[in-house]
Structure 1
Amino acid sequence: MSRIKLGLIGAGKIVRDQHLPAIQQTPVLQLAATADPYASIEGVPGFQDIEAMLNAHPDIEAVSICTPTTLRFETARAALLSGHHVLLEKPPGATLSEVEALIELANQQRVTLFAAWHSRFAPGVALAKAWLANRRIDRVQIEWKEDVRVWHPGQAWIWQPGGMGVFDPGINALSIATAILPAPFFLRHARLRIPENVQAPIAAELSFVDTQGAAVSADFDFRQTGAQTWDIHVESEGHSLSLTQGGCRLMIDEEVLLDEQEQEYRGLYNHFAELIKTGRSEVDIAPLRHVADAFLYGYRETTEAFIE
């Protein structure tokens, strides 16, 4: 199989930390160029925008879009209209209607569109899903707490409309929960804590119930210092499952079944290549729908100003 030539839209922190190493470790992909008006990657041709990149490199077959969410729709639409396969970094768009329009366009153009929920590629997720598949869920507790100053230094966009605040990492937890839990769940209560000087929440407490009556709670917080917490705990039929460290560590009834290093983005890009090869798209909007429900249904509480 010949290598798929790929263009990266965006060359910021997440690209340097995750996308670039993963692409380099994926033999079926070849990074051809980047498009970013403010940054570039040494040794890789860089352009101001996607149009200039594609004009200069007509051999590019696919693009990976890693811009802030509010910029993704027009970029993805241009790529799809020109017949390119598209990977969308999470979340796949700023609104549900944008993503639905991109799904329809990709189908019309007969190209691959992939909403890349990277946390679903954590090593323990598939095993947790298989173990829970035929079980009754009694209770689920999600704790996703991290330090915004460590993970998003100087990124003012995350506090603006469309940036999602604490839901930027929180949606990773929701992407895992919607993948591993056997029944859909629905929001019943939400409290969003929003600093007085920004537009997006710094913390959120969510309560859901699934179709069988099981309670699902989620506690997201951007203010945690020291050790970071990315945990999902499930109680089922007298047993317990804990998926911790963002999905890298799996325990069942306190027995460690798996404890591995994170390689989510490598799995993500291998899957993207497989989708292209087989002519398929994969765009699950369930995690984004839960975030939209929280903003629609949640009680807003003003907190002290956020100063980086």
Structure 2
Amino acid sequence: MSPINLAIVGVGKIVRDQHLPSIAKNPDFKLIATASRHGTVEGIQSFTTIDAMLDAVPAVDAVSLCMPPQYRYEAAHKALSAGKHVFLEKPPGATLSEVADLESLAASKGVSLFASWHSRYAAAVEATKSFLASTTIKSVHVIWKEDVRHWHPNQDWIWQAGGLGVFDPGINALSIVTHILPKAIFLTGATLEFPENRDAPIAADLHFKNADDLPVHAEFDWRQTGKQSWDILAETEAGHVQLTEGGSKLSINGELKFSAPEEEYPALYRRFAEIVKAGKSDVDLAPLRHVADAFMLGKRKFVDAFHD
């Protein structure tokens, strides 16, 4: 089968760090074009808009959309309308409604839509899911704290309405939790901390439960310096479970059970190729739904202004 001719829209840091190396190693894809206001890829046709790219390069089969979520719907709608398969960086959109509309459009056009959740493909996630399915879970505690100045320096869009603020990393934790727990959870209460000069939160404290009253507590914070915390802890009848370092290591009762090198984005592109070949879509909105619930149900607390 010939490679899938791929284009990237929005050539920024995540594209250079993750997408380009993953595409280069995957024989199912051939990068043939990019569209970005500022970024280009050496040796690849470059355009400043998706419209110009789609008009000039009809051979494009699929498009990876890597711009901020506030601008993703319009680009995705254009690509799907042109009969292109679409890979959506996380979060898949700024609202639930627009992603649902894109899913419907993809189905009507007979093309694939992929809402990618890269943290679900972290090395130890599947092993953790299997272990939790084999025992009774008593409680879950999520600690997802990092330094926004390190990971998102001078990125104003992330502080704007729709940019999600601390939920930009926090949704990664939610994507794992919604995948590894046997039953669905729902929000029961939340407190969101907003810098007085920003439209998106810098911290969030969330409480969930499932139909069996399993307590799930999540703490997200963008003010952590030093060692970063990306941990999901569970108390079970079989002992203490620690899924750490963003999902890359699993320990049970203090003993390391699983660890492997990070391969999240290569796995995403393998999955994208799989659904394109199968003629189906993969659009799970559970993580984004929890974020929307937090904004709907959460109490707002204003804190000191944030400056880069």
Q: Tell me if both proteins adopt one fold, taking TM over 0.5 as the criterion.
A: yes
Question: How far apart in 2 are the matches of 1:305 and 1:19?
Answer: 34
More displaced 10-residue stretch of structure 1: 76-85 or 49-58: 49-58
**Aligned residue number for residue 51 of structure 2:** 51
> Structure 1 residue runs of 4+, over 6 Å off?
none
**Aligned residue number for residue 251 of structure 2:** 251
Question: How far apart in 1 are the matches of 2:150 and 2:6?
Answer: 29
CA RMSD of aligned residues (A): 0.9
Question: How far apart in 2 are the matches of 1:87 and 1:62?
Answer: 8
Cα drift, residue 232 of structure 1: 0.3
Question: How far apart in 1 are the matches of 2:298 and 2:56?
Answer: 47
Q: What one-letter code is carried by the residue in structure 2 that aligns with 1:89? A: E
**Aligned residue number for residue 262 of structure 2:** 262
Question: How far apart in 2 are the matches of 1:281 and 1:305?
Answer: 41
**Aligned residue number for residue 298 of structure 1:** 298
**Aligned residue number for residue 176 of structure 1:** 176
Give percent identity, aligned residues only.
54
Q: Is structure 2 residue 162 aligned with structure 1 residue 162?
A: yes
Cα drift, residue 238 of structure 1: 4.1
**Aligned residue number for residue 74 of structure 2:** 74
**Aligned residue number for residue 242 of structure 1:** 242
**Aligned residue number for residue 30 of structure 1:** 30
Gaps of 5+ in 1: none
Question: How far apart in 2 are the matches of 1:25 and 1:223?
Answer: 35
More displaced 10-residue stretch of structure 1: 128-137 or 177-186: 128-137
Q: What one-letter code is carried by the residue in structure 2 that aligns with 1:67? A: M
* Residue pair 2:127, 2:258 contacting (<8 A) in 1 also: no
- TM-score, normalised by the number of residues in structure 1: 0.98
- TM-score, normalised by the number of residues in structure 2: 0.98
Cα drift, residue 259 of structure 1: 1.8
Cα drift, residue 136 of structure 1: 2.2
Deviations 1:216-270 (A, max 9, x none): 0000011111111100011111412111000111112222111222110000001
* Residue pair 2:203, 2:221 contacting (<8 A) in 1 also: yes
Tell me the SS of whatever aligns to 2:137.
Answer: coil
More displaced 10-residue stretch of structure 1: 128-137 or 86-95: 128-137
Question: How far apart in 2 are the matches of 1:180 and 1:43?
Answer: 41
Question: How far apart in 2 are the matches of 1:262 and 1:127?
Answer: 15
Q: What one-letter code is carried by the residue in structure 2 that aligns with 1:70? A: Q
Cα drift, residue 272 of structure 1: 0.2
Tell me the SS of whatever aligns to 2:72.
Answer: helix
Deviations 1:269-307 (A, max 9, x none): 011001101111000000000000000000111010101
* Residue pair 1:134, 1:182 contacting (<8 A) in 2 also: no
Q: Is structure 2 residue 64 aligned with structure 1 residue 64?
A: yes
**Aligned residue number for residue 205 of structure 2:** 205
Q: What one-letter code is carried by the residue in structure 2 that aligns with 1:228? A: Q
**Aligned residue number for residue 84 of structure 1:** 84
Tell me the SS of whatever aligns to 1:241.
Answer: strand
Cα drift, residue 134 of structure 1: 4.2
Q: What one-letter code is carried by the residue in structure 2 that aligns with 1:95? A: T
Question: How far apart in 2 are the matches of 1:297 and 1:201?
Answer: 14
Q: How does 1:16-27 map to 2 (within 5 A)?
A: 16-27=16-27
* Residue pair 2:233, 2:242 contacting (<8 A) in 1 also: yes
Question: How far apart in 2 are the matches of 1:266 and 1:238?
Answer: 33
